Structure 1
Amino acid sequence: MIAPIVSATAQSIALRPYQEACVERVLTRHASCPKGGKALIVLPTGCGKTVVFTEIARRLGLRTLIIAHRQELLQQAADKFRMVDSAAVIGQVGAGRHEYGAPITVASVQTISRPEHLKQVKRFGCQLIIIDECHHSTASGYQAVLDALPEAFVLGVTATPDRLDHQSIERVFGEPIFTASIIDMVEQGYLCDLRAIAIPTAASLDNVHTQAGDFKLDELEVAVDTEDRNNRIVSAYLQHCRGRQALCFSVTVEHAEHLAVAFTTAGIHAAVVSGDTPLEVRKRILHQYERGDIAVVCNCGVLSEGYDAPQTSCVILARPTKSRGLFTQCIGRGTRLAPGKSDCVVLDITDNCLRHRIQPLTLRKVLELPLLDGESVMESKKRQILEQEQEREKEERTTKVSRRTQDLVLNMLDRMAWQRRSGGSYVLEVGEQKHQIYLIPSEEKDGYYSVWAKLAPTFQQQQWLKESTLEWAQQHAEMKARLLQSSAKKLVLVDSTAPWRARPASDRQLYMLRKYKLDFDPAITSGEASDLIGKAKEDEAKNKAGKKAKKAQRVIQKLVRGA
């Protein structure tokens, strides 16, 4: 039986500018071809693909089927719906559950593509199909579902449209209607900076053959799973990334186990997860990793997709690959923003490879950016601007352009000085009075945090936000922190114990809520209204700043090209 799923964490979600643009393009495509139409979105890992497609489904209000190949992805989609619509009725098909007939259904492609389930799909029907990680959608299971619902509008979302078998997903969806690159998102401050460090080894890949477009796994394991190479990886971690939490990607399960032993022998708390790891053990290991109790998780094929761990600030590519998609998915595990996190170091393990026509991928190749060893994406971009400026100065035609280039400030979001505490919590001190704001991890659900504060002079503990994703909890906490930083008089606006917050919302507040088109309860209090209005104003300011920065950047690029 399907029951409405109600959550105390339901809240208004303000989309980032690129997310809003993405949603609008899909809605426009749907309006032009609602039956049998298709659309493809390409967004890097960590840029909110799930938020985008859940918002699209919410705005369209159609009977929706969300398909993915992993249970973690389906759970993420259901969780996002719960956060944007507490009254959403969500059915699940897969993992022993067969809940058809709900307005929103999340389904495992392995289950729903079976003949007996396709009959149920046709019976209940749907007008919108969303395929998460749609680079898998050329497989027969997905096609069986699409054939069963030929009049549904189909939306595909992915971070990596590349496939080793060269089957283009564009034959299913057409060309992407919205695309953003990792570099775009790093420049705009929506992903953390990436810094690649090449780690040469004595291993040789010359005797490893190619199978299905990538290195043959059994031969690759023999070539790279050696004691010397594994110890080289550990020493590189100690030299460049000591104290960072890392995900290490291996060739096989045995390789992951050998790497974990090497890390442990060196005094680094490491663990292994794989497809063979019992579910409860995997949950326990990943929970300990989130809390900071485990430094390195070595894995084989299970954390490259559908796993969010924003605190990851090091990615170790112990598995050579020719797959752009796999490489991008792996580094994407480290690109998410987190409190106190400035960048992510990619330890690029480089082996000798002289005979292969196609070399193993590196960060430089994947991003198509001339990264120097140890240089971050932002440092590379700034270096290129400086080099261009110097070249123009040599030609003596650059006075105006140089001056304007020097004035360019890349649109990086301000970083607040969050400190991580034991147990996985974060604390931020604000102002001369040292107000304290906390992000406290959920005891029930990994990846979710509540926001608490202790405000001077009493430092009485108060809760500001119930459990939400880390991104949203951080955004809410920093909105309050900026109010505190702006003026001591603003303390009364953020103090949840202030008497005015319990009063009914004023006429002015009700007007502002309607102006910003915010959903609210008729019995909303003055404090609740203030929170919603404040968030809307901050999002509006961010959108304006983002548009202004993009405009300035376009002007400068135009001047550079014309110089």
Structure 2
Amino acid sequence: MTLTLRPYQQRAIDNARAHVAAGRQRVLLVAPTGAGKTVVAVGLIERVLARGRRVIMVAHRRELIRQPYERLLAAGLTPEQVGVILAGVGAGGRHCDAAADGWGAARARPEAPVQVAGIDTLRRRELPAADIVIIDEAHRTLAASYRWLCDQYPDAVVLGLTATPVRSDRHGLGEIYQAMVVVASYAELVAEGHLVAPRVFSTRALPDLAGIRIRGEDYAQDQLAAACDRAALVGDVVEHWQRLAAGRPTLVFGVGIEHSTHLCAAFTAARIAAVHVDGTTPTAAREAAWRGLADGSVRVVCNCDVASEGLDVPAVKCVVSARPTASLRVWLQQCGRGSRPYEGAEYVILDHAGNAVRHGLPQDDRKWTLEGRKKGKGVVRPRACCWRCDECDGINPIRARRCEHCGAERPAREAPEWQAGELVELAAVGPLDDEQRAAAWALVVAEWRARNARGGRPSKPGWCYYRMRERYRCDPPRGGERPTWTTDEAARAQQFDRLRERAQERGYDPRWAHVRMAQGERR
């Protein structure tokens, strides 16, 4: 094999091997999108093969299986050394569907020492022997299919690869992995020229997320689509792109198929070469769209949950986020599509969803952990939020006094828009000054209002004071907003009190009042 590793990639392999030598058989490797996690995996496989071991690398999407297969061959392995376990790649040279076109010598070779496999296909096939199991997009390891996989290889070393070791269900990846290796930070890779730090712009025309519920780890898609798929917002996306990112190969992330199609139509109406892809788009058409971005024949590809993972098109130098998300993982995965350097081009993110203020800039230094989170807590970030420049719509770190994009002074602080959902806990560094305390209080009050907007029994205003002391270890600022119930919240509180009294009189379970409250709101 002829693979050349960057220093940080070699360090990651050395650190992972040290953990395994110390008896920690399941190790998670974390690196930003674009850092070369697949290259690290190939480097690991090179060393494993040299010792006569067998490896299986598993992923959940076809693109994530094809990439390591091609990298392994490029690094010097022969096709006979690499087997493919994937629906559509048949034995005896038969490609069973058009999705396998271009795989060249890809075959199902059970005897090969290296296997690349789709997790869904693997569960329906005879399992190959393996000493090392490599899991791509390892934030999914807690899913039932991957737990099953780990159970099938109890004596194997398990190595996970991910850019975002975080889940919105509060479970930590420490349920599977025993150690974590941070390959490199975003800032380190930018300093070394391996990644590009984006300029992030937002807009005043953000969708109204009031009342949208959380399902699973993200906003309910049907409600979200209704809030985002409006003519004014769709048109605003095109106008900002023409002003701030015209000409750049662009990925647009929509809420659903219909929303993405409308965005594509708006770009096309402005005489911009745009196409739409989604999960139902034939593989050949999707591949043509990615090639179009690379060669310039297509300027904009609008998509719905297709390009978030596994897409490697370095020419992409603009990402348009038109889909609000409550998931930090989804936000960072989308931003990572344009982070690879390409001919010195500047990278621009146009945030039409409020995600930058909600989750922070993609280049923020985040402290990852394998531990789970207590209820109501989120990923710890060093900055409370970002702020938007009124002059140029640029997004800036919370502590910046002037806009990093145009130099304008920071405007008077407004409370960021928090919506119903799993809110991220923001960690302050050291004692808060007056400005930081005001910002923290605004976040707490906004979180309280978002909690109450979900329906049911509203939390009392005193919740804000307890939350402020619990989270930031300080009292609210003098002169800050005094939280009070709205008329609707007060009415709901009275209704709940009446239901609770009725439950006590009849000897019902105390939860009866909550159930009746929810039933009444659904009618």
Other-structure match for 1:58: 46
Give yes or no for contact 1:200–1:350 (8 Å, CA) kept in 2.
no
Q: Does 1:29 align with 2:19?
A: yes
Residue number among 80, 84, 88 corresponding to 1:92 in the alignment? 84
Q: 1:321/1:362 Cα in 2 relative to 1: closer, same or farther (>3 Å)?
A: farther
Q: Using the alignment, how far apart are the partners of 2:309 and 2:301 within structure 1?
A: 15
Other-structure match for 2:335: 331
Q: Using the alignment, how far apart are the partners of 2:363 and 2:71 within structure 1?
A: 34
TM-score (norm 2): 0.65
Report matched runs for 1:125-164 at 5 Å.
Answer: 125-164=129-168
Percent identity between the aligned chains?
32
Matched letter for residue 309 of structure 1: V
Give yes or no for contact 1:39–1:176 (8 Å, CA) kept in 2.
yes
Other-structure match for 2:33: 45
SS at match of 2:271: coil
Give yes or no for contact 2:48–2:54 (8 Å, CA) kept in 1.
no
SS at match of 2:325: coil
Q: 1:366/1:302 Cα in 2 relative to 1: closer, same or farther (>3 Å)?
A: farther
Deviation of the 1:331 alpha carbon: 0.2
Give yes or no for contact 2:11–2:183 (8 Å, CA) kept in 1.
no
Give yes or no for contact 1:27–1:56 (8 Å, CA) kept in 2.
no
Give yes or no for contact 2:319–2:350 (8 Å, CA) kept in 1.
yes
Other-structure match for 1:265: 269
Residue number among 51, 67, 71 corresponding to 1:76 in the alignment? 67
Give yes or no for contact 1:244–1:312 (8 Å, CA) kept in 2.
yes
Runs ≥4 residues deviating over 4 A: 364-373, 379-384
Give yes or no for contact 2:323–2:353 (8 Å, CA) kept in 1.
no
Other-structure match for 1:18: 8
Other-structure match for 1:428: none
1:258-290 Cα distance to aligned partner (Å, 9 max, x none): 000011111211110100111122122222121
Give yes or no for contact 2:8–2:183 (8 Å, CA) kept in 1.
no
Higher helix share: 1
Other-structure match for 2:361: 363
Deviation of the 1:31 alpha carbon: 3.0
Q: 1:91/1:202 Cα in 2 relative to 1: closer, same or farther (>3 Å)?
A: closer
Other-structure match for 1:105: 115
Q: Does 1:347 align with 2:337?
A: no
Deviation of the 1:167 alpha carbon: 2.2
Q: Using the alignment, how far apart are the partners of 1:94 and 1:212 within structure 2?
A: 28
TM-score (norm 1): 0.60
Q: Runs of 5+ in structure 2 lacking a partner?
A: 91-107, 366-381, 389-393, 405-523
Q: 1:91/1:350 Cα in 2 relative to 1: closer, same or farther (>3 Å)?
A: closer
Deviation of the 1:362 alpha carbon: 4.5
Other-structure match for 1:493: none
Deviation of the 1:330 alpha carbon: 0.2
Q: Using the alignment, how far apart are the partners of 2:82 and 2:233 within structure 1?
A: 48
Q: 1:73/1:372 Cα in 2 relative to 1: closer, same or farther (>3 Å)?
A: same
1:420-445 Cα distance to aligned partner (Å, 9 max, x none): xxxxxxxxxxxxxxxxxxxxxxxxxx
SS at match of 1:363: coil
Q: 1:383/1:255 Cα in 2 relative to 1: closer, same or farther (>3 Å)?
A: closer
Matched letter for residue 85 of structure 2: V
SS at match of 1:193: coil
RMSD: 2.6
Other-structure match for 2:202: 198
Q: Using the alignment, how far apart are the partners of 2:78 and 2:353 within structure 1?
A: 51
Q: Runs of 5+ in structure 1 lacking a partner?
A: 1-10, 385-563
Deviation of the 1:299 alpha carbon: 0.4
1:303-328 Cα distance to aligned partner (Å, 9 max, x none): 00000110111110000011000000
Other-structure match for 2:319: 315
SS at match of 1:157: strand
Residue number among 224, 227, 234 corresponding to 2:228 in the alignment? 224
